[in-house]
Structure 1
Amino acid sequence: MPHPGWSAFSFEGIGTHWEISTPQVLGADIRQQLRDEVGKYDKTYSRFRADSLVASLSQRPGTITLPGHAVGLRNLYSRLYLLTGGAMTPLIGASLERLGYDPEYSLRPTGGPLPPPPWEDVLAWNGTSLTAKEPLVLDIGAAGKGQLVDLLGGLLVSAGFADFLVDASGDMLHSGRHPVTIALEHPYNRKQAIGTVVLDNSALCASANNRRAWGDGLHHVLDGTTGQPIRTTVATWTMAASTMEADALATALFMVEPTVLEEHFAFSWLRVSSGGAATFSSAFEGRLFT
């Protein structure tokens, strides 16, 4: 939680509650910049709004030009697509919509699980240029919110704020001289915690299959090789230097063993299996309740 006496600026954006805590009250200008950044990101990437930049690709093949920060997003997705054997893919959107997680939030499946096509067959993403060779639903939700947290952190730094906590409903970025203690939500009971972790000039992200779940065993973390919801893991937490990486790795931990990711990324982690067993890296300096 933020420190007592800090000021909190809260707003809604990309379907998420945001809270930005700072020792000083944020002025009107920086507040507007933060809201505008979230709005621009949503207008670019949201698959839930018909007027977004990527929404045009769901109707017809074509090429779009993304903002400069898309380069980092593409590179991260590309690495994790390979490391997970295609299980983590930005093409999972159509599969989610088929299972009911659609722009209308109908939560009514229109068919059974269906894997998305291979990235290399339908999508050419080079830097800021993205070409769809056939209609497709782009979904960068596994890393996008984390990247947006980093972008807001960058705005705060540019405005002269060295101490802050950006919290996008559990995806967090901390900066400054005052570490914060964060509770780790119990995957089966949101009112309880399974432990705590101290966040000190780093990012913390979580992924859990109880956050967006509906129907009979349906939730938002799908295996891109099968289109099926993943049921072997129920929750993950990751800590890394960037929120984008922490966000993406929290999802990737549902799909591949941590040792595979540890060879390529500097991060710490905690993972809870569907059987209730918790495993964690030696660098995850948290406290689990017994």
Structure 2
Amino acid sequence: MSATDQEDFSFQAIGTGWHITTPLPLPAAVRTRVLGRVEKFDGEWSRFRADSRVAAMARRPGRYSFPEEAAPLGELYRQLYDLTNGAMTPLIGGSLERLGYDAAYSLRAAGPPLPAPDWESVLTWSGTVLTASAPVVLDIGAAGKGLLVDLLAQELAAAGVGGFVIDAGGDLLARGTGPVSVALEHPYNPAQAIGVVDLEGRALCASAANRRAWGDGLHHVLDGTTGQPVRTAVATWALAETAMVADALATALFFVPGALLQEAFDFSWLTVFSDGSAAYSTEFEGKLFA
């Protein structure tokens, strides 16, 4: 797709702006399918909606059946929970609410940081069935946006759309296109870039402490073992075959070195630290500016 031969379908969903770029305009029926898939996903997984299944889990324990995407999502979270020694967890929702990132967006801490509950003590995640022994505030934000990118890509492919780029607030997936040049946003100045990546046929996802930040040093990337915001890494990027995996690994890079994650996952990565230094994989496709 050339810069002069593109159509853009834009909408708001799960708290961010989305852009689906295609060579030709998406038919109305395909747009309706895409938006319907978004609504279904939000109705299952959002902790900000009182009518979601996740909200029901926060009110009462029990056995809950989720859509089929829950199975690979649970496996990914379990693997990263173990690799990070519990720092990255889907049970971080209560910790986020404690610091003010709640359904009402109060952005005011209700008390000192609260560690997430131990997975084994409250949750069994078996395929598409989640069983909670106590009310739990599930939050899949570390991988959820990427997962929805993948689900929308499936919808587009099923509709016969051969080439597209999905941009979900900076998390991107390119399929059937030529290289797409993507700037890597400076973690302290959104108007500047620290580098560029040519994305083709893969997903690129980022996580940054300056996104969804509030209060005195509070942001959305919390260590599940302490409930406190991470202070060392400030921005990460991960490239993988699927957006769900790239999204999750971009968060995991806040807790453990990329080299350790590469022992379990096929991906490339970049981490920028609070002291201005950076680390990256030898096969990282991007170019960093001097």
Q: TM (normalized to structure 2)?
A: 0.98
> Partners in 2 of 1:111 and 1:166 — Cα distance?
38
| 2:17 match | 17
> Segments of 4+ in structure 1 off by > 2 A?
1-4
Identity %: 60
- Number of the residue aligned with 1:153: 153
Contact 1:14 1:39 in 2 (8 A): no
| Structure 1 residues not aligned, in runs of 5+ | none
Partner of 1:267: 267
Q: Answer yes or no: is the 8 Å Cα contact 1:2–1:21 preserved in 2.
A: no
Q: Tell me the equivalent position of 2:87.
A: 87
Q: Deviations over 1:84-143 (max 9, x none)?
A: 000000000000000000001110000111101110110011011111100110000100
Q: Contact 1:149–1:166 at 8 Å: present in 2 too?
A: yes
Which residue type is aligned with residue 170 of structure 1? G
Would you say the 8 A contact 2:258–2:280 is kept in 1? no
Amino acid at match of 2:238: T
Q: Deviations over 1:173-220 (max 9, x none)?
A: 001141100011110011111110000100000000000101111000
Distance in 2, Cα, partners of 1:178 & 1:60: 48
What is the match of residue 42 of structure 1? 42
Tell me which residue corresponds to 1:251: 251
Query: How far apart, in 1, do the equivalents of 2:3 and 2:261 lie?
Result: 33
Query: Does 2:175 match 1:175?
Result: yes
Count, aligned residues: 290
**Residue segments in structure 2 that go unaligned for 5+ positions in a row:** none
Letter in 2 for 1:283: E
Query: Equivalent residue for 1:54?
Result: 54
CA–CA separation in structure 1 for the residues paired with 2:3 and 2:22: 9
In structure 1, what is the equivalent of residue 232 of structure 2?
A: 232
Residue 162 of structure 2 corresponds to residue 162 of structure 1? yes
Equivalent residue runs for 1:94-105 within 5 Å: 94-105=94-105
Alpha-carbon RMSD across the aligned residues, in angstroms, is 1.0
Corresponding position of 1:72: 72
Amino acid at match of 2:63: T
